[in-house]
């Protein structure tokens, strides 16, 4: 029996991956594959980088 896990961010879609930073289980829509993390963490990392410039 497959257990379907719902996305921790949107709460609608089936989770596809876990974020490497926060561990949230997220769907494809809420996962940034380029950065290998959820969109929430990716947005925080991008904002942090922009402040350092």
Distance CA 3, CA 36 (A): 23
For residue 45, the model assigns a pLDDT of 78
Average pLDDT on 24-50 reads: 88
Q: What backbone phi and psi angles, to 5 degrees, belong to 46?
A: -65, -40
With a pLDDT cut of 90, the percent of the chain lying above it is 75
What the block records as the tokens of 4 is 């379907």
Domain extent listing, the chain: 1-53
Average pLDDT, the chain: 89
More confident residue, 45 or 35: 35
For residue 51, the model assigns a pLDDT of 60
Residues in contact with 4: Cβ distance below 8 Å, sequence separation at least 6, in sequence order: 14
Alpha-helical segments (H) within 1-53: 39-52
């Amino acid at each position: 029996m497959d257990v379907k896990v719902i996305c921790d961010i949107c709460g609608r879609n089936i989770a596809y991956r876990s974020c490497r930073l926060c561990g949230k289980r997220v769907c494809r829509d809420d996962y940034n594959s380029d950065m290998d993390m959820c969109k929430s963490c990716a947005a925080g990392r991008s904002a942090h980088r922009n402040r350092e410039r």
